[in-house]
Structure formats: structure tokens, C-alpha cells
Structure 1
């Protein structure tokens, strides 16, 4: 079979996936989907080529045995034709694999990298805006504490208890939402970096001090490898534990406040005491179920950090006005430190991205 005919077969094999992808919009999500489809195609083509090679080896051994035994010419010719056909199919399969690999590299460097760079720039702006917000919140709560404790008469009743309970529920959801949000960002970058690292042929470098730490930049990898590796390492170094512990402490105080008010209201015997007690007991059980559910989710979201709420959390904290204000202040201060670290990490990423792309742009202009 001629090279021209083989080229047509290669093009026909790739045409279906190219048609499917042509209609998709060009954004980060669609680019990742394209890469996923091309990688699946590459995997299947490599497996098919491996099977062809095994079958080809078997036919070659059979042809050799037929020649050695002086078998009938028709059998030898038939087997030889099968070997030639398989050789052609293997050549086509190799061309398909090569073309898919080139396509994946092109999408990665020409589509994925600019989109990830834009994402990093957007996240940098987001973290800077969040830092300004948390700095303002920290300053506001410090000024409020400086005014001294607020004296107010507390009216116990169902509305008061319901409001405190609702706040407790929202705080539990806040902890989980924040943890999931941060974990999702870290997981996204970590998995992206893992995939990229699999694309590099790397041999550990021996130095007088031992094996050198792996660095995509040291082996001349494209910018996307360098930046994603630094990105993943930077996010892994930033811990959200202090923020979550501060949230947990404040939530503990609010839930204990609800428990104290519940006991006082029950003792006062307002209204239908028996019905009130039953309702409050149900509410307490609901709160404990939510806390237990949060514990399980936190293990999945932040494994190994020990960021759980105790099942008897509502009995564990001081609930003075000063304690509540102090707990709230610690949340905003922890948030301020967390977002500050994030801003610095993303600023460093932007600087590194400029350093990585500038030399390549110069080389491109010279070409």
C-alpha cells in the first residue's frame, strides 16, 4: 500500500473526533474536554497497535515455520500476505498515534496554556479583592470591640431561639462551603499537574548531594509544565486550617448560646412547656445530626487535618459577648492571613509566567 493511501486511512481514522470537537466553543472547560477525548483516542490506538504487534509476531513465527518445513506455496503466500497487511496496519497505527500526540501537544501549548494563564490572572484579582475585604472586616470588628461590650436586654422566646439556631446552621454550612471551595481549587491544580507530569520523560539527576529535586524548568519543559508544578506546590503549602478552626470556634460559641437559651426558656416554662421541650429536643437532635454530617464531609474535604466538630460541641465554649466578638475577629484575621498568603503565591506565579514566556516569545520573533 502506498504512502498516499496510508495517509488517507490515517485521516479517516481521525476525522470523526475532529468533527465532534470542531463545533465546541474555545474555553478552558471545552479545552480540557478535547484533551480528554484525544487522550482516550490515543489510549485505544496504542492498545490496538500493541495487539497488532502481538498478532504480527505470531504470523511471522508461523511464516518462518512454514518456510523451514517446506510447506505448500499457497500456504506460504497466504501467510506472507497476512504479514504484509499487518505491517501496513502497524505503520498506519504508528502514524495515527504520532498525529494524536502532536495534536495533544498543540492543544496543550496553544489553547490550554493561555487559558490557564488567564485563569491565574483572574484568581490573582479575586484573591486581592478578598484580601481587601477581609482587611476591612478585621478593622471593623477591632473598632467595634474598642467601643466596649454592648448592653442589651435579652428576650427569650421561640423567635430568639429560632434565629440563633438558624445562625448555627448557616455557620456549619459556611465551614463546609469554605473547606470544599478551597479543596476544589487545590484538587483541580493538583490533578492537572499530575497529568502534565506524566507527559514528561524524566530521569532523576544524580548530584554530589544526592538526587536533585524534580524541576520541569531544569529539563526545558514548556511554560505550562513549569507554572502548573509551581502552582500545585504553592497551594499545597498554604493551609486553610487556621481559618476553619476559627470558624469552628465561633460556631461552637453560637451553638452553646442556643443551648443555654434553650435551657433557660424551658426552665421558665413559657407557654406549653411539654410541647416546647419536645420541639427543642428535636432541634437539638437536628443540630447534632448536622454536626455529625459535617464531621464526615470534613474528613473527605480536608483529610488528615483534624478539622472536626465534636458531637457535644454545644456544651464546650464560653458564650460571653466578648468571647463571641473575639471569635468573630479571629475568623477575619485568619482569613486576612490566608488570603494574604494566596495573593503572594499568585503574584509569584504571574512573575514566573512572564519569565517563562518572554524568552520563548523572543525566540519566536527571531524565527
Structure 2
């Protein structure tokens, strides 16, 4: 056994095992962070919509708008679409890289009586687009004759139907039509509906990531989680894996009671335990072989010197015993390695495939929801920002604005965490795979990374994560946060000005009462009486009162101007920030939906190749 590996190879093996264990430990932590970030992002979408609705409820009584201008008679055609995205990784990599630049995203078409449902990240669908009616309507983008229309006031486009295959054939997408003017409250209500739909889009993926949904409580926040804690208790686990196709997820089978070994969390934790065991076994084998070399060298020297027979025999038995222990150690390493391979191929790989398909489904749904929101907020430009009310900002409205700022800040933070946690997840996994695909046996059946479907899948996935155009989306959310913060600051300035006005008004009231008291005490004669001292006191008091009255009028003008600035800034900032943020997140969601679709298709191809090989063998 001592001749199987050189001393250098054995040290390399120990080093490799330590690195494998380190990567798997990182992967366990990254899995929990990924799960928590996923749940927090979906929650942030829901909370942002609710905060916007609360903000609009407080703002709406303060805003007025004029009747909308007539829609333009001629609608300019949308910009030419980009070339269709292929299913190869090279294509979506180029797209991702392009979108990480600081170049502003092209604006969507203006809202009118006939909107084309176009966005700069996706090719136009085949078939003629058409609309009809004077309210919200939904028209299939692939077939003009098949329509789904809502004729009630304020109806919003329903989500498009899912594709029926994994390829990129044109899917039915909604066309949103509106010729009825809506106020701020109506627009935000519609936005909130699609925030709720967006939050629901990751529900099934949450199940695969083992996030409890029934209690309404999310386990952990990605920072203080026990790194080896599986977020579901045994009664919430599922038997086996959820089944996906390239359009979403199908059913799952529940069990009652015991923990299910096939859960993703369980698989990852058990892999880590096996890696720890393997590392100890390899270190033990190295120690035995080092001891064997030492004893063998001592025996050789004793035999050369023809030393005491009994001592030589004793040394031989010690060497033979070490060789036996080395043999057992090698078998243990082989057995542990096979357990890791078994878990990796039979449990981890299918789970990763399902995760990729779940991500594709989620980001496709997010794209569809955000795309509708992108067009809904275009109606904000028709709210008149000239004839604004002079109603002051209420305390309720100030609190709702602060809450909105907080929720958008959480949206931004959770988005950044979502992208980062997925990068950490796939990077730690890919790093482990690079090392774990090395086998300790010299069997000819050992797989290389080129032959490994799991490694190919993870390489593609890591490419998606590394090239994600998250900077554009992140900056879009941050830009919205900045304009809402500007409203908060302006509301504070308005309140500060109100306090100044109140202070001067109270002082004026106080000085006026003192003046009246003097006039009441000395009577009208003080105006022309001989007592100059008394007349001077009254005149001085009267001058101060008049100066204060002028100051109060001046502060009142400043306060009224501050109110007008607040009302105008509020509307202008919404008109500027909301379209930009939805354009940014729509573009990101579309890029990732296409990217994960490409990875999904690659996984399907690899599975077909594996199936063919198994049949031939």
C-alpha cells in the first residue's frame, strides 16, 4: 500500500481534502443564505407594494389633476427589436455583459389608446398585435383573434399563459390598453396587484429551498442563521423532489412525520459530514503511511546490520500491522468517496436541476409582472403637475413616506443579497466540484469534469450568476430610493417651516395681547396725551407687533411655497422614479429568465445524453 502514492501525492491528497471540506462548509452556509435571501426578496416586493399603496392613500387627497389630454393620433413605431436570443450560453453572456454598462435603458413606448407591449430586452413576438375598446384590455400578442378583455373600470392585464415547451417559441404576452385617465390612487392600486403577483412567483421555489410559507414566518435573515440549520422541521418536509418542466413546477408529494433524506438541505449537510469524515480518514492514512515508511526504514537498517533476530521479527510484525491498517484505511477512504459520489449524483444533481428550472420559472414570472408594471406607471405622466393643491402634508403622510423609504431600502438591500447569495452558493459548489471529481481510486470508470453533467450544469449556472446585469437593476431601485428620500427631506423642510410659522404666530399673538392690555389700561388718551413715556411704550409695543405681523406674513408665504414644492416634488419624483425602476428590474428579470432557460435546456440535453449512454451500456 505504501507504494501506491508518493509522499508528494499523499500531501497533495490531504491538501485537496481540506480544501474540499472548506468549500463544502461554505456551501452549507451559502445554501442557508440563498434560501433566506430568496424569501426576503419576495417579502420585500410585497412590502414595497403595500407601502406604495399606503403612501398613495395619504397623498391622493392632497393632489388634483386635470382631464387627460387626447391621445395622439399617430403612434410612433417602437425601436427595432434586438436579435432573438439563442439557447447557447455565449449568447446570453453577451446580453448580460451589455446590460451591465452604464448606458441608459431605452424608454418604453408612450401610453396611448394602442400600446405595443414592447421592452428593450426581448424580441417582439410573432403575429400582429391589436387592441380594441375604451378600457383596460388584454390581447394575445401571438393571435389577434384570441383576446381576453376586461371591460370594467380599471381592469389590469392578466398574466400571460405559460409556454408549453422548453424552447423559445413565442409565448402569449398581454397587451395593455388604456384610454381612461386614472388618478394616483388607481395607478398605485394596479401596481400593488402586480407586486403581489411578483411576490407569489417564487412560492414554489421557496418550497424547494425549504422555506415555510404556511405560518407566514420566514426562518432567518441570511446573517444569523446557524450554518447547519435546515429551515424546515420534519412535518414540513416533502418526499423526494418537486418535478419541473421548462414552464414551471408540477406537484409534490408530502409525507407525515420523519425527515426526508432527499431534501436539499439534508443532502448538503450530509455531504459536509461525509467530507469531514473523508478528511479525517485521509489524514489518518497519511499518518499511517508516514509511520510505515519510518518503521520500514528501521527494519531495513536492522536487516543490513544483521541485528538481533527477535528485534527484527518484532519490527517485521509492526510493519505488517501498519500495512494491514493502511489497507483498512484505504478501504474506508474508498467507501466514503463512493458515498459522496452517490449523494452527488443521485440526490444533489437532480436537486440542482430542479433549482435551475425553478429559477427560470420564477424570473419569467417576475419579468411578466414587472413588464405590466412598467406600462402601468407610464400613466403617471398624464397626472397634471401644475394645478396642485395647497394642502399641507399631514403627519400620517409623513409616516407613510418614511415607511415607503424604509421598504424601498429593504427592496434594494434584499435584491443585492439575492444576487450575492446565489453567486456565493454556486461559486462554493463549483469550487467543491472541481476538487471532488478527483477520485482516490484508480478505477478506469472515474469521471472527469468533461464527462460530469453536474459540473457542466454548475459551470453554466456560475456563468449566469457572474454575468448578471444586477448593477443596472440595483441602481434603478436605488434611484427610486433617492427620489423618495428627497420627498422625505422636503416634507421635513415643510414641517420645519410650519414650526417657524407657528412660533412667530404665537409670538405675534402674545405681543398683540400685551399691546391690547396697555391700550386698555391707559385708554385712548395715550395716543395724544402729554405723558410721553407712556405713549412711547405703547408706540414701541405697537411697532414690534406690526413688525411681527409682517414677519408672520413672510413666514406664511414661505410655508405655502414649501407646501407647493412638496406637492410638486412628490408627483414629479414619482413620475421620474417609478418608470425607471420598473424598466430596470424588467430588463434584469428578462435577462435572467432567458439565461436560466438556456441552462435548463443544457440540463435537458445532458440528461438525454446520459439516458442514451445508460441504454447503450
What range describes the TM-score normalised by the shorter chain of this pair? 0.7 to 0.9
CA distance in 2 between partners of 1:91 and 1:218 (Å): 26
Matching of residue 54 in structure 1 with residue 290 in structure 2: yes
Question: Contact 2:363–2:592 at 8 Å: present in 1 too?
Answer: yes
Structure having the higher helix fraction is 1
Question: Contact 1:59–1:83 at 8 Å: present in 2 too?
Answer: yes
CA distance in 1 between partners of 2:380 and 2:482 (Å): 21
Moved over 3 A (4+): 146-154, 217-220, 270-274
CA distance in 2 between partners of 1:236 and 1:337 (Å): 17
CA distance in 1 between partners of 2:407 and 2:393 (Å): 21
Instruction: Look up the match of 1:338.
Output: 588
CA distance in 2 between partners of 1:180 and 1:168 (Å): 18
Instruction: Look up the match of 1:104.
Output: 340
Instruction: Look up the match of 2:604.
Output: 354
Question: Contact 2:419–2:465 at 8 Å: present in 1 too?
Answer: no
Question: Structure 1 stretches of 5 or more lacking a match?
Answer: 1-21, 203-216, 275-317
Please list, as runs of the form range in 1=range in 2, the aligned pairs for 1:109-258 lying within 5 A after superposition. 109-149=345-385, 151-200=388-437, 220-258=450-488
1:327-364 deviation digits (Å, cap 9, x = unpaired)? 11111110100000001101101111111111210121
1:39-61 deviation digits (Å, cap 9, x = unpaired)? 11111100000000110111111
Residue 84 of structure 1: how far off its partner (Å): 0.3
SS in 2 for 1:319: helix
Question: Contact 1:266–1:273 at 8 Å: present in 2 too?
Answer: no
Question: Contact 1:156–1:261 at 8 Å: present in 2 too?
Answer: yes
Cα-Cα RMSD: 2.5
Question: Contact 2:373–2:582 at 8 Å: present in 1 too?
Answer: yes
> 1:154/1:192 Cα in 2 relative to 1: closer, same or farther (>3 Å)?
farther
Q: Greater shift after overlay, 91-100 or 192-201?
A: 192-201
1:222-271 deviation digits (Å, cap 9, x = unpaired)? 21110100110122111211112112222111112121221222222279
1:4-43 deviation digits (Å, cap 9, x = unpaired)? xxxxxxxxxxxxxxxxxx9752111111111111111111
1:96-140 deviation digits (Å, cap 9, x = unpaired)? 111211221121111111111111111111111111110111011
Question: Contact 1:189–1:232 at 8 Å: present in 2 too?
Answer: yes
> 1:349/1:218 Cα in 2 relative to 1: closer, same or farther (>3 Å)?
farther
Question: Contact 2:438–2:448 at 8 Å: present in 1 too?
Answer: no
Instruction: Look up the match of 1:64.
Output: 300
Instruction: Look up the match of 2:574.
Output: 324
CA distance in 1 between partners of 2:402 and 2:414 (Å): 18
Question: Structure 2 stretches of 5 or more lacking a match?
Answer: 1-257, 440-446, 505-567
Number of positions where the alignment pairs a residue of Structure 1 with one of Structure 2: 289
Residue 324 of structure 1: how far off its partner (Å): 2.3
TM-score (norm 1): 0.73
Question: Contact 1:157–1:265 at 8 Å: present in 2 too?
Answer: no
Residue 153 of structure 1: how far off its partner (Å): 4.2
CA distance in 1 between partners of 2:469 and 2:308 (Å): 75
CA distance in 1 between partners of 2:390 and 2:473 (Å): 32
Residue 148 of structure 1: how far off its partner (Å): 4.5
CA distance in 2 between partners of 1:153 and 1:196 (Å): 64
Q: Greater shift after overlay, 224-233 or 181-190?
A: 181-190
CA distance in 1 between partners of 2:411 and 2:616 (Å): 53
CA distance in 2 between partners of 1:112 and 1:100 (Å): 16
Instruction: Look up the match of 1:16.
Output: none
CA distance in 2 between partners of 1:219 and 1:176 (Å): 36
CA distance in 2 between partners of 1:31 and 1:272 (Å): 66
SS in 1 for 2:451: coil
